[in-house]
Amino acid sequence: MTRLARSDRHAILVDAGYLLASSAQVLVGTSLRRAIAVSWERLVTGIKTSVAETTDTDLLRVFWYDAANAQATRQLSEEHNLVSLLPDVKLRLGRVNNEGAQKGVDTRIALDMVNLALQGAVSEIYLVSGDDDLTEAVDMAQDYGVRVTLFNVPNDTSRLGVHATAMNLARVVDERLRIPIDLLRTVITPSPRPLEKPLAPVAEAGGAATAAAAGAEPEAPALRIPTPSDVARLHPAPVPAPEPVEPTVALAWSSITGQGGRRGGDPDADLREAIPEVVKAVVRNWLDSATQADVRALVSTRPTIPGDVDSTLLTDLVARSDDRYRILQTETRWQLREAFWSEIDQHV
């Protein structure tokens, strides 16, 4: 059997974690995935159609990469089931570690990219990802004669024009294209608030005493999820921070960058100013998609923050800098998490 010429086909490799988190950040202000609702068939179809408008080759397939919870039963989630049943889609799953970070996804993308190029299966690869770890795989695919194009979430405030994309990756690809923002706005919307039965009113002290006397267990006070209007009213005007005291610094020379820099001082000073805004966005979107059970579970684990929420807080804060791989100082992480619980206390 003779294989098709390279010029006949293209593949689309989608890092779902990047696509959904970046879209959520751009559309609703936080990378929290549960903050958005997605029309999966329309999203995949829209990506396929948008890519087809930029090439004369035929589609081989869409490779959809995501992470599954390693502690779960290994059964596919509803989201993964829906995506895997779509035509021309191959689902590839990594895993989620205990800290809420996805693992194994980049490795799968890199292996598939190199294998497609090595086998001569495609002449073009459209990559929906921004991860620096894929740079070497792109280089190798290009060595085998494959063109690699980034097809990422648009962001007009980024110097690259796309959201959360490593500069090294952007440099090595053959072209950078943007997913139409109108497509994303059409198929990705804020998650609807859960519809639940009204909570029974909390018994007054007298009622509780009567129930205890009758041998019945008094009901625990129910936690209430605020409505959007409540959330808006509960956001107080920010309190001006005290004027920072400029620390004594010395000019230092970096042999790596060949530039002078400041030794000492606070490397996260710029990001700490953004903590209140980041926390408010994450909490607001989390509450909008949370059930009463979710709120109770969150409060019961205090001071531990669920892995996906904690990861979102860190990611959203780092996104305020130009370096998406920036390592936050320990003190900054503490302040971020303390601010999260302070914000939760205002609404629960």
pLDDT digits (tens, 9 = 90+) for 115-171: 999 999 999 999 999 999 999 999 999 999 999 999 999 998 888 899 989 999 999
Question: Which residues, in sequence order, are CB contacts of 149 under 8 Å at separation 6+?
Answer: 54, 124, 125, 126, 127, 173, 174, 175, 176, 177
pLDDT exceeds cutoff 90 at 319: no
pLDDT exceeds cutoff 80 at 47: yes
Question: Stretch 219-232: mean pLDDT, rounded?
Answer: 50
Q: What percent of the chain has pLDDT over 90?
A: 52
pLDDT at position 215 is 54
Between residues 81 and 202, the one the model is more confident about: 81
pLDDT exceeds cutoff 80 at 188: yes
Between residues 248 and 191, the one the model is more confident about: 191
pLDDT at position 242 is 53
Q: Which of 194-208, 249-263, 304-318 has the lowest mean pLDDT?
A: 249-263
pLDDT at position 307 is 83
Question: Stretch 170-184: mean pLDDT, rounded?
Answer: 97
For 154, the 3-state DSSP assignment is strand
pLDDT at position 195 is 56
194 pLDDT band, cuts 50/70/90, is low
Q: Measure the CA–CA gap between 55 and 267, rounded to whole angstroms.
A: 45
Highest mean pLDDT (candidates 47-51, 97-101, 156-160, 299-303): 47-51
Q: Is the dihedral of CA 331, 262, 169, 156 positive or negative?
A: positive
Question: Stretch 310-318: mean pLDDT, rounded?
Answer: 89
Question: Stretch 243-262: mean pLDDT, rounded?
Answer: 42
Taking the complete model, does pTM exceed 0.85, yes or no? no
Question: Stretch 290-306: mean pLDDT, rounded?
Answer: 89
Question: Stretch 19-37: mean pLDDT, rounded?
Answer: 93
238 pLDDT band, cuts 50/70/90, is low
Q: Measure the CA–CA gap between 249 and 125, rounded to whole angstroms.
A: 48
DSSP conformational letter for 50: H
- Give me the domains of the chain, ranges plus CATH numbers: 6-190 (3.40.50.1010), 229-345 (no CATH)
pLDDT exceeds cutoff 90 at 172: yes
pLDDT at position 89 is 98
- The answer to whether 45 and 53 are in contact (CB under 8 A) is no
pLDDT at position 158 is 84
pLDDT exceeds cutoff 70 at 99: no
Question: Stretch 285-297: mean pLDDT, rounded?
Answer: 87
Q: Which of 1-10, 78-87, 151-160 has the lowest mean pLDDT?
A: 1-10
pLDDT at position 74 is 57
10 pLDDT band, cuts 50/70/90, is very high
| Per-residue CA distances from 272 to 129, 133, 136 (Å) | 28, 28, 34
Average confidence score pLDDT of the chain: 81
pLDDT at position 261 is 41
